[in-house]
Structure 1
Amino acid sequence: MAEKVIITQGKYLASAVKPEQYPEIHRKEIVFIGRSNVGKSSLINSLTRVNQLARVSSQPGKTQTINFYEIGAKIDDDPGRKDFYLVDLPGYGYAKTGAQRRKIWSRFINEYLLGSEDLQFVCQLIDSRHEPMASDVEMFHWLVEHNLPVLVIATKVDKLSKNAVAKNISQIKRSLGVPELDVLPYSSVKNVGREELLNVIADCLLENDEVNE
């Protein structure tokens, strides 16, 4: 079956720690956030199918800026190309990051999340192999309290059996306190969840276009 969404371009655009460094051209933004080493860069590379678009590091806490990637997509039944940004935020909860650096990161991340007029929704990545940590739960509730739409993505599901994935996703829902929450299983290695995530992004882009017409 043909894919509904085809990524036609993906390129790194800018890194920022303050608003004046954000891209000058406004586009809709899909944001990725999660604990250090949860697999954000791998997911971005999997989603776009652009090898090493986001730099993958074995060293947690490597991403220290807000990174903007310009993405082009062709959506089935839509005549034009949709251009938007994937926005990769620094990982939270890395123990070896100094308190002062964490405070700085927190400030510019909050400034972006609360100030962006183009943000469509936030993908919060949680490692499917483990129970969510306090920082995961805290971040989820912070996003909800600030009325930011959240899609929780359970990463690295290829490392678990199907039964373990189902069990651990149920644990994620309980830990976040939302039993009916939709959680998207994702494997960057096997591209599990890729089509589903692209469809969510496409629906968001098309829906907002209809609103603006």
Structure 2
Amino acid sequence: MGTPFDCSFCMKITSAAFHISVSALSGLPEESTPEIVFAGRSNVGKSTLLNSLTGLKALAKTSSTPGKTRLINYFLINQEFYFVDLPGYGYAAVGQEQKAAWGHLLSSYIEERQSISLVVLLFDSRHPAMESDRAMINFLEFHERPYGIVLTKFDKLTQKEMAKTRRIMESCAAKAKFIVNYSSFSGKGKSELLAHLDHYIR
């Protein structure tokens, strides 16, 4: 699953700030800055992960209500590159028209955006590789986008469940550049993930 973890190459985040929210591709920033994209099902913990990675509790707004992130949100990191938070997918409670609009925005962005360096897929480790997650993996592989996987809420699993989840992910995401077990509560996996991200910014 890509290069082995070496903390000597961990990314150091010294600054992070909200940059812009966009609802259409026409509003995206110029493609002169690398973008690391975070995607996942609604309520998988993307905002929590971004806050954990940057050490800023209120950088990305978190909510207990799935489907709250409806825009593409850009955060400028170290004045050098962007973290990009995509709308969550797979939430059934919104209307079909809304779901279609989000889906079009997300898919068009991934298909057309040339400044994407890496897509980080977040999966809930308690429910690995749901149908919508597998569809996203297939979509990224079809468009030959490099991607890595972060398994959130990993600290909620037993050792047996951890091993099972890992086997499932390695089977259905064989082309993933990395698979990181992450706990925003304890910080486990943070240094490893930053080391992987650093590789795609250098």
Opposite residue 27 of structure 1, the aligned amino acid is T
Preserved contact between residue 143 and residue 150 of structure 1 (Cα < 8 Å): yes
Q: Distance in 1 between matches of 2:176 and 2:11?
A: 27
- Pairwise CA RMSD of aligned residues? 2.0
Uncovered stretches (5+) of structure 1, i.e. residues with no partner: 73-81, 207-213
Opposite residue 45 of structure 2, the aligned amino acid is G
Uncovered stretches (5+) of structure 2, i.e. residues with no partner: 1-6
Give aligned-pair identity as a percent.
38
Opposite residue 192 of structure 1, the aligned amino acid is K
Q: Distance in 2 between matches of 1:42 and 1:71?
A: 16
5 Å matches for 1:99-178? 99-174=96-171, 176=172, 178=174
Task: Give the alignment partner of residue 183 of structure 1, picking from 179, 182, 188.
Answer: 179
Q: Name the one with the larger strand percent.
A: 1
> SS of the counterpart of 2:13?
strand
Q: Distance in 1 between matches of 2:133 and 2:97?
A: 20
User: Which one scores higher on RCO, CA 8 angstroms, separation ≥ 6?
Assistant: 2
1:8 partnered with 2:8: no
What's 1:201 paired with? 197
What's 2:4 paired with? none
> SS of the counterpart of 2:90?
coil
What's 2:27 paired with? 21
Task: Check 1:179–1:89 CA distance in 2 against 1; reply closer, same or farther (3 A cut).
Answer: closer
Q: Distance in 1 between matches of 2:132 and 2:176?
A: 21
Preserved contact between residue 9 and residue 198 of structure 2 (Cα < 8 Å): no
Q: Distance in 2 between matches of 1:201 and 1:165?
A: 23
CA positional deviation for 1:180: 8.5
CA positional deviation for 1:181: 7.2
Q: Distance in 2 between matches of 1:7 and 1:140?
A: 28
CA positional deviation for 1:24: 4.0
Preserved contact between residue 13 and residue 69 of structure 1 (Cα < 8 Å): yes
Q: Distance in 1 between matches of 2:128 and 2:83?
A: 27
Q: Distance in 2 between matches of 1:180 and 1:145?
A: 13
Task: Check 1:22–1:97 CA distance in 2 against 1; reply closer, same or farther (3 A cut).
Answer: same
Question: Which of the pair has more CA radius of gyration?
Answer: 1
Q: Distance in 2 between matches of 1:55 and 1:202?
A: 24
Comparing 118-127 with 20-29, greater Cα deviation is found at 20-29
Task: Check 1:179–1:167 CA distance in 2 against 1; reply closer, same or farther (3 A cut).
Answer: farther
**TM-score, normalised by the number of residues in structure 1:** 0.85
Opposite residue 132 of structure 1, the aligned amino acid is A
> SS of the counterpart of 2:14?
strand
Q: How many residues align?
A: 196
> SS of the counterpart of 1:6?
coil
What's 1:37 paired with? 43
Preserved contact between residue 67 and residue 88 of structure 1 (Cα < 8 Å): yes
Task: Check 1:90–1:2 CA distance in 2 against 1; reply closer, same or farther (3 A cut).
Answer: same
Preserved contact between residue 151 and residue 182 of structure 1 (Cα < 8 Å): yes
CA positional deviation for 1:2: 7.6
What's 1:210 paired with? none
1:66 partnered with 2:58: no
